[in-house]
Amino acid sequence: MRSGDLARYLLDFGWEEVLLPGRRQASDIPADPLLAGDLSSMAQALAQCQRCRLSKGRTQVVFGVGNPRARVVFVGEAPGAEEDRQGEPFVGRAGQLLNAMLRACGLARSEVYIANIVKCRPPGNRDPQDDEAAACLPFLKRQLALIKPEVIVLLGRVAARHLLGLTAPISAFRGSWRRWEGVAVLPTFHPAYLLRNPQAKRDAWEDLKQLVAKLQGGSPSEGATAPGNAEIVL
């Protein structure tokens, strides 16, 4: 009998302390999400967070998704309506474009990690306010500490502002490598911006070529197989 079958059999007979495979006991989940030892228990600990006013309007906390050992973490600004509904970042139109950008880099969505500066939807899709970002940022930093990525890609000016403190327009520093806590950081355009400004996709592709080259340990020119701008057009 497999362990899962045995656990269910024992539960049927009235055992109350059986831990089904993949299911955590409440005692495994820390009261403070920042003390979590893995992403899964951190997500559960954070599910009822009321640390900032964004908790009032959300459907659910949008924690993040992807490979807990990802080499690359993509960071956007905040969940939108569809993300709030589904509980996953970048699942709307911007998410589809991000998926296309990943494919153009030869990356599957499942092999990277995707998160946002704030984990609850701001009303009306406004930018997160400074105090909201400050309240939520420790959780993203803890996620990054647990994942230990080689590269962080910052999607848009809001992500760059709150993680790197850059206040210039994104066009002024996109594509130029930075460091955060010893990790290589590449700022580029947010997919939602690219949907509104398709002419910027060419620059975004230049940035993504740098990402591919970094992951391959080479220079940008030897990195990506240059699929061309068309491959990140929806």
Interface with ligand SF4 includes 65 (CB under 6 A)?
no
How is residue 233 written in tokens? 């057009």
Smaller CB separation from ligand SF4, 120 or 211: 120
Residue from 36, 39, 42, 52 in contact with ligand SF4 (CB under 6 A): 52
Distances (CA, A) of 178 to 77, 79, 140, 222: 18, 25, 18, 21
Residue from 36, 39, 43, 49 in contact with ligand SF4 (CB under 6 A): 49
Pairwise CA distance, residues 72 & 105, whole Å? 12
Helix (H, G, I), strand (E, B) or coil at 105: coil
Residue from 55, 59, 96, 229 in contact with ligand SF4 (CB under 6 A): 55
Residue from 64, 119, 159, 174 in contact with ligand SF4 (CB under 6 A): 119
Smaller CB separation from ligand SF4, 119 or 190: 119
Euclidean distance between the first and the last CA atom of the chain, given in angstroms as a whole number? 49
Smaller CB separation from ligand SF4, 47 or 213: 47
Report whether 76 contacts 159 (CB < 8 A).
yes
Pairwise CA distance, residues 63 & 129, whole Å? 18
| Chain residues in the site for ligand SF4 (CB under 6 A) | 46, 49-52, 54-55, 61, 118-120, 132, 135-136
